[in-house]
Amino acid sequence: MKAILVKEPGGVEQLYLGEAPTPVPGEGELLVRVHAAGVNRPDVLQRKGKYPPPPGASTILGLEVAGTVEELGPNSGEWRVGDAVCALLPGGGYAEYAVIPHEMAMPVPAGMPFVEAAAIPEVFLTAYQALYWLAGMKEGDHVLVHAGGSGVGTAAIQLVKAAGAHAHATASAGKLPYLQELGAETTIDYRTEDFAQRILSVTDGHGADVIVDFIGAPYFHSNLEALALDGRIVMLATLGGVKVEEVDLRRLFAKRATIAASTLRSRRRDYHVRLTRDFRRDILPLFNDGTIKPVIDRVYDWQDVADAHGRMEANENVGKIVLKVL
């Protein structure tokens, strides 16, 4: 089969369209003919040699796909050849074919193009995990989403709004109008505004009940300042740095704060299966009635994968970058 491969760890020039063995579905697996694949920041890190795939996973880039079931392995559940599915996977998405566990496949919402369906699994499952499983978001909560223009950020804003909670988001100035359209009640230019003071102001001193953070060390102290009593911080990345200086632990006690850190790709298969099951039950129907939607920044032919990676590295995207496969 054809696949996007990496010559050696490095820049976007290392990506090329080559050939790789077509995977074979095993027990409980589906072979999916890939029509579209989402581009995610872990793909960029893996291309650079900084984020190896989990043991046993495909070394081909790509953490989410949408396509049609081509072949069924033994005991593959409800699925039939020809079904339109989308799924999270630990690797192998930038290819003509990918193998996925049948429990992690989700039906493509009715009438949705594959390029949109490919923008659902990674970011919406990540946001769902952070907001519901880790932070226990509930109706009426004030939720601050950092990097609101990212794929996970745009997904999180919509999930917050759909839950009857209040979405607040940080991003660069040019992205803020898009976040308002998605349902962010407060949008903050992180380059020119103090987000902690702004959140305290718009919540009449209450603060954020939940903070979803991708930045890490540079935001740690301000996150604590912005946090409400009994607030929860979920850290999903450390794009800005990893070392926090001069932490006064009394501030954590004063807020009765909970801090959770999580990655998704390295989780065990049973975790992914349970997360997919809950998401499919609780959230997937909301795509059918338009309550939430995939946010597509740009669609590239997969031969232009270098341009897609370049756009993500430049942080120019609002929402998802998607590769159209063949």
DSSP codes of every residue in 55-72: TTS-SSS-SEEEEEEEEE
64: left (phi over 0), alpha (psi -120 to 50) or beta: beta
pLDDT at 152: 96
Residue pointed to by tokens 């960029």: 44
Q: Please count the CA atoms within 13 angstroms of the CA of 214 that sit on its side-chain side.
A: 19
Give CA–CA dist 136/62, Å, rounded.
29
Q: Which of 283, 239, 231 is nearest to 258 (CA)?
A: 231
Distance, CA of 67 to CA of 215 (rounded, Å): 33
pLDDT digits (tens, 9 = 90+) for 77-131: 999 999 999 999 999 999 999 999 999 999 999 999 999 999 999 999 999 999 9
Distances from the Cα of 230 to the Cαs of 81, 224, 321, in angstroms? 49, 11, 36
Cα 131 → chain centroid: 12
What is d(CA 323, CA 302) in angstroms, rounded to the nearest whole number? 5
Task: Give CA–CA dist 234/221, Å, rounded.
Answer: 14
Count of Cβ atoms closer than 10 Å to residue 177 Cβ: 11
Report how far residue 235's alpha carbon sits from residue 212's, in angstroms, rounded to the nearest whole number.
6
How do residues 263-288 score in pLDDT, each as one tens digit? Answer: 888 898 899 999 999 999 999 999 99
Angstrom distance (rounded) from CA 210 to CA 1: 44
pLDDT for residue 39: 98
Three-state DSSP state, 319:
coil
| pLDDT(170) > 90 | yes
Longest dimension (CA), the chain: 59
From the list 103, 55, 143, the residue with the least C-alpha distance to 272 is 103
Q: For residue 63, which phi and psi values (nearest 5 degrees)?
A: -110, 0
317 neighbors 298 (Cβ within 8 angstroms) = yes
User: Two tokens at 275?
Assistant: 């997360």
Report the run of H or E that residue 197 belongs to, with start and end.
helix 195-202
Average pLDDT score, the chain: 96
Q: What is the mean pLDDT of residues 140-163?
A: 97
pLDDT given for residue 148 in this prediction: 97
One-letter amino acid for residue 298 of the chain: R
186: tokens are 């407060």
Q: What is the pTM of this model?
A: 0.95
For residue 326, what pLDDT is reported? 80
All structural domains of the chain, each given as residue ranges with its CATH number in brackets, are: 2-120+265-324 (3.90.180.10), 123-261 (3.40.50.720)
At 194, the pLDDT band (50, 70, 90 cuts) reads very high
Instruction: Select from 173, 149, 174 the least CA-distant residue to 312.
Output: 149
Whether 63 and 93 have beta carbons less than 8 Å apart is answered as: yes
209-233: per-residue pLDDT in tens? 999 999 999 999 999 999 999 999 9
